[in-house]
Copies of this chain bind each other. A is one copy, B any other.
């Protein structure tokens, strides 16, 4: 029994390690600082979106519109910058507002009119795509004028200076240590079983080493990408929300048993609309990042991203029927997906095989999850 629990908690790291090992053997450049940095940027994009999707899936709903939403919001900002000459922050602000409005609207329709989210967001997928192409006139709209850099274009091209990266790693590791220590004290207070001090310290050292290692690798190329920071911040916020606030627990409650949530006096409607609004925020952030990633808004930005986001969540152990999942799992899921896509791109694998491999990994991951969590 215990072995199974251990295996389950390690299944994602192991899967990731296997994928990494496979690609590293086939192509040593996979582990090069340059490629890892690329991988981190791609990971940041999928990961951020997946975190938003995670909150939606927790409630037992789904959002199929996020891919075309990503295109649309990035497109709006790009058009405002390039054609209208707005400053990047203003344009991105406008994009964010648009996202908030659209997602609040979808959330309201789902909740108040009781239309299944699958339908509303499938409609959203189609409608946003149409609006998106209209907005950019099906053309290619750069994220900055001429060759200048702006906040928008820097989203995926700015790297933190080496020292700042190290400083951040240091700070993170300290905070982590403090959190672990505090949690331990609490558990002792409650007379709950705790790990031995040695073990706890070992875990902390391993985690800190991983963080430093990451920063050092990044510094070998250009430094820690700004986009990783964005993902990190989003991750911390979503973690805090889902783990430590009533709002977050309500997400689980609604997904677990909506009727019970209603009877417990939870404002289910408000919470669900809230989840969609937050999804809107991550769509906007992802929209800016993935548009910046290509350097301009083109008609295909965001295509199929909804599937990647859902797949990341599900691979990471989030239940589609709601009520189950963790932030860490989602991040692992996103990382597995990204590693796979990046590695195959690097090997120049044919598109056919790419499709097949993605499908197989998705099914295998979920199958493993199902197998291991059946008690």
Q: Are B116 and A320 in contact (CB under 8 A)?
A: yes
Q: A147 to chain B: closest CB distance in Å? A: 30
Residue in B closest to A364 when the chains form the complex, CB atoms: B123
> 8 Å CB contacts to B: which residues of A141-160?
none
What mask results when residues 352 to 371 of chain A are scored 1 for a CB within 8 Å of chain B, else 0? 11111111101100110011
Copies of this protein in the assembly total: 2
Q: Are B307 and A118 in contact (CB under 8 A)?
A: no
Interface status of A134 (Cβ within 8 A of chain B): yes
**With A and B bound together, what is the CA distance between A113 and B134 in angstroms?**
45
What mask results when residues 321 to 336 of chain A are scored 1 for a CB within 8 Å of chain B, else 0? 1000000000000000
> 8 Å CB contacts to B: which residues of A118-168?
118-120, 122-127, 129-131, 133-134, 138
What mask results when residues 303 to 343 of chain A are scored 1 for a CB within 8 Å of chain B, else 0? 00001001100100000110000000000000000000000
Known contacts A351-B133, A353-B130, A367 near B122 by CB under 8 Å: no
Q: Are A127 and B360 in contact (CB under 8 A)?
A: yes
Interface status of A233 (Cβ within 8 A of chain B): no
Q: Could you say which of A114, A138, A366 has the most chain B C-beta atoms within 10 Å of its C-beta?
A: A366
Interface status of A115 (Cβ within 8 A of chain B): yes
- B residues in contact with A355, CB < 8 Å: 126-127, 129-130, 133
**With A and B bound together, what is the CA distance between A146 and B354 in angstroms?**
34
- B residues in contact with A358, CB < 8 Å: 126
**With A and B bound together, what is the CA distance between A134 and B357 in angstroms?**
13
Q: Are A366 and B126 in contact (CB under 8 A)?
A: no
Known contacts A130-B352, A133-B351, A370-B113, A360 near B123 by CB under 8 Å: yes
Residue in B closest to A125 when the chains form the complex, CB atoms: B359
> 8 Å CB contacts to B: which residues of A59-77?
none
> 8 Å CB contacts to B: which residues of A279-319?
307, 310-311, 314
Q: Are A366 and B116 in contact (CB under 8 A)?
A: yes
**With A and B bound together, what is the CA distance between A338 and B37 in angstroms?**
47
The 5 closest A-B pairs by CB, nearest first: A126-B359, A130-B355, A130-B356, A127-B359, A123-B363
Q: Are B123 and A362 in contact (CB under 8 A)?
A: yes
**With A and B bound together, what is the CA distance between A134 and B356 in angstroms?**
10
Q: Are B356 and A127 in contact (CB under 8 A)?
A: yes
* Additional pairs, 19, CB under 8 Å, beyond known A116-B321, A123-B363, A126-B359: A109-B367, A113-B371, A115-B363, A119-B320, A119-B363, A122-B307, A123-B359, A123-B360, A124-B359, A126-B355, A126-B356, A126-B362, A127-B355, A127-B356, A127-B360, A130-B354, A130-B355, A130-B357, A133-B352
Give 7 CB contacts A-B under 8 Å: A116-B321, A119-B320, A122-B362, A127-B356, A130-B353, A130-B357, A133-B355
**With A and B bound together, what is the CA distance between A116 and B62 in angstroms?**
14
- B residues in contact with A116, CB < 8 Å: 314, 320-321, 366
**With A and B bound together, what is the CA distance between A131 and B358 in angstroms?**
12
- B residues in contact with A320, CB < 8 Å: 116, 118-119
Q: Are B354 and A119 in contact (CB under 8 A)?
A: no
- B residues in contact with A118, CB < 8 Å: 320
- B residues in contact with A138, CB < 8 Å: 351-352
**With A and B bound together, what is the CA distance between A267 and B240 in angstroms?**
45
**With A and B bound together, what is the CA distance between A130 and B361 in angstroms?**
14
